[in-house]
Amino acid sequence: MLSHLANPARFMRISGVALPWLGGVSLVVLVLGLFWSLILAPPDYQQGESVRIMFIHVPSAWMALSVYLFVAVASAVALIWRHPLAEIAAQSAAPIGAAFTFVCLATGSLWGRPMWGTWWVWDARLTSVLVLFFLYLGYIALVNAFDDASRGGRAGSLLALVGIVNLPIIKFSVDWWNTLHQPASVLRLGGPTIDVTMLAPLLVMALGFTLLFGWLLLVRMRTALTERRLRALRIYGEAAAGNASEASSGAARPAWR
């Protein structure tokens, strides 16, 4: 399925059909998730209404990690098989991952202030997520730092692969080190410790964020492919125009890639 889609022309055709559906479904799921999180879900017996921050904080943390994994895997595919669509996928996904990481950090801070009494602590969990945010920014900066886009892509892919060591550190930081941050309560051995009235909206929001990621990824990949096509067409158009005038004067044919 993936290798079938890996042809850019086929990708454009299929993603063009999928785009409005994916957009519509993510909107519906997100509205449902927000309604559930903000109105239907009960307040926590200890944390009161502040627990509602969890419904965006935790799904955006999951997205921050899984989008990074996506960027790293796509980068590996780009490095090993040199497939241009894989590199475009990684580069289109990185800003989305950075946005989710920022939301995770900001909402965590807003939740930490009333519950822990501090906006921020330099403990293992918070620091490693901050490192993840800088990895995203570093990847985006590196990709755009070269005049030659293919060199930037290669350098970015390498950085994305090296940064993958941060993912297990984030996941297990709450078990390995003393921290203010609570340990996992959903993705843990022995099942979730969170009540279903809160687990349900949490999972709906996570689904909504995942669908939003899918829609954003398709939009951004289609933009990148279209812009690349535009560049090629412009270069070709200029070359062809130059060719026509120079052909009559007998000049050499300009190089075109």
Partner 1 sequence: MDALATYVSMGGYAGFVWSAYGIAAAVLGGLALQSWRRYRASQGALRNVEPRVPERR
Which residues lie near partner 1 (CB under 8 A)?
34, 38, 43, 48-50, 52-53, 56-57, 60, 95-96, 99-100, 102-103, 106-107, 110-111, 113-114, 212, 215-216, 219-220, 222-223, 226-227, 229-230, 233-234, 236-237, 240
How many Cβ atoms from other residues are within 10 Å of residue 248's Cβ?
A: 8
Query: Residue 131 or residue 219: which is nearer to partner 1 going by CB?
Result: 219
Query: Residue 42 or residue 168: which is nearer to partner 1 going by CB?
Result: 42
Can you name the residues that pair with 44 across neighbouring β-strands?
48
In the complex, what is the shortest distance from the CB of residue 161 to partner 1, in angstroms, rounded to a whole number?
25
In the complex, what is the shortest distance from the CB of residue 243 to partner 1, in angstroms, rounded to a whole number?
9
- Identify the sign of the CA torsion 198, 201, 206, 209: negative
Query: Residue 139 or residue 215: which is nearer to partner 1 going by CB?
Result: 215
Query: Residue 107 or residue 154: which is nearer to partner 1 going by CB?
Result: 107
Q: Which residues of 11-30 are buried (b: 16+ CB within 10 A; e: fewer)?
A: beeebeeeeeebbebbeebb
> Whole-angstrom Cα distance, residue 100 to residue 68?
10
In the complex, what is the shortest distance from the CB of residue 87 to partner 1, in angstroms, rounded to a whole number?
18
In the complex, what is the shortest distance from the CB of residue 99 to partner 1, in angstroms, rounded to a whole number?
5
Element (H, E) at 170: helix 166-176
Q: What SS3 state is found at 48?
A: strand
> Whole-angstrom Cα distance, residue 51 to residue 144?
39
Query: Contact at 8 Å (CB) between 184 and 174?
Result: yes
Query: Residue 167 or residue 213: which is nearer to partner 1 going by CB?
Result: 213
Query: Contact at 8 Å (CB) between 136 and 101?
Result: yes
In the complex, what is the shortest distance from the CB of residue 153 to partner 1, in angstroms, rounded to a whole number?
19
In the complex, what is the shortest distance from the CB of residue 116 to partner 1, in angstroms, rounded to a whole number?
12
Residue with structure tokens 């996506």?
Answer: 70
Query: Residue 102 or residue 177: which is nearer to partner 1 going by CB?
Result: 102
